[in-house]
């Protein structure tokens, strides 16, 4: 696949693909990570999946559709392998191994979608925030990453103030620390306890089928 693509830089908040748009490229994150966002009418949206170096942006092409159902938004700046849609289709058609791997990844992503749907409905903001931080930490491969409360609110589908409140609570419990968008995970174990079961559920599915 490498010879068919190029290594590019992903800029924070860059939109790789809008929901409903043609998929011109697929992306395999190397050290960046990307939010898959379901937008609704009227500028509201909800993050329904997170893609790091375990996955790929542009799953629609694997399913033979050339339009993305979701918005792909760069959450963590970094590098990725970008492959042209036509080239990707060609390589995919010739490699049953790649097909199989991406089928499995599609399955994992679907599981994540479903889990997130239920999680968003039933769990508290603070639990969901803890889950988000853990998922992000896994994909950032670092204890520190950058994101403002405003942006987090957008991801979790809550007000900025809702994040501030939840984040303050987590900080008071000394699980995280943040200043002006720089978030540090201080106590990963404690954060897992603060998170809902969904983090582990996702992780189990991931390890079972991609690990």
Binding-site ranges for its own copies (CB under 8 A):
36, 38-41, 44-46, 48, 59-60, 62-65, 69-70, 100, 103-104, 106-107, 109-111, 113-122, 157, 197-198, 205, 209
Q: Least distance from C-beta 22 to DNA, angstroms?
A: 31
Cα gap 137→75, rounded to integer Å: 12
Of 31 and 148, which CB lies nearer to DNA in the complex structure? 148
Q: Least distance from C-beta 128 to its own copies, angstroms?
A: 11
Of 59 and 170, which CB lies nearer to its own copies in the complex structure? 59
- Ramachandran quadrant class, 71 (left: phi over 0; alpha: psi -120 to 50; beta: rest): beta
The residues that touch DNA, with contacts defined as CB under 7 A, are 124-126, 148-150, 157-162, 164-165, 167-168, 171, 178-181
Residue of 57, 56, 65 lying closest to 20 (CA atoms) = 65
Angle at 95 between CA 89 and CA 97, to 5 degrees: 125
Q: Least distance from C-beta 68 to DNA, angstroms?
A: 26
Q: CB–CB of 45/13 below 8 Å?
A: no
The distance between the two most distant Cα atoms of the chain, rounded to a whole number of Å, is: 54
Q: Least distance from C-beta 81 to DNA, angstroms?
A: 29
């Amino acid at each position: 696949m490498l010879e068919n693509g190029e290594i590019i830089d992903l800029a924070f908040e860059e939109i790789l693909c809008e929901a409903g748009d043609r998929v011109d490229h697929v992306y395999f994150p190397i050290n960046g990570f990307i939010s898959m966002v379901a937008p609704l009418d009227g500028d509201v949206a909800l993050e329904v999946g997170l893609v790091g170096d375990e996955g790929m942006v542009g799953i629609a092409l694997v399913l033979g559709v050339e339009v993305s159902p979701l918005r792909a938004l760069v959450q963590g700046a970094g590098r990725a392998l970008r492959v042209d849609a036509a080239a990707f289709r060609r390589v995919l058609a010739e490699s049953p191994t790649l097909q199989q791997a991406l089928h499995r990844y599609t399955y994992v992503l679907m599981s994540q979608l479903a889990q997130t749907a239920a999680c968003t409905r039933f769990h508290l903001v603070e639990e969901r925030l803890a889950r988000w931080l853990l998922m992000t930490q896994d994909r950032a491969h670092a204890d520190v990453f950058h994101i403002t409360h405003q942006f987090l609110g957008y991801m979790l589908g809550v007000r900025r103030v809702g994040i501030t409140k939840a984040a303050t609570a987590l900080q008071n419990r000394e699980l995280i620390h943040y200043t002006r968008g720089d978030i540090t995970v201080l106590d990963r174990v404690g954060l897992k306890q603060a998170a809902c079961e969904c983090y582990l559920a996702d992780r189990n599915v991931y390890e079972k089928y991609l690990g």
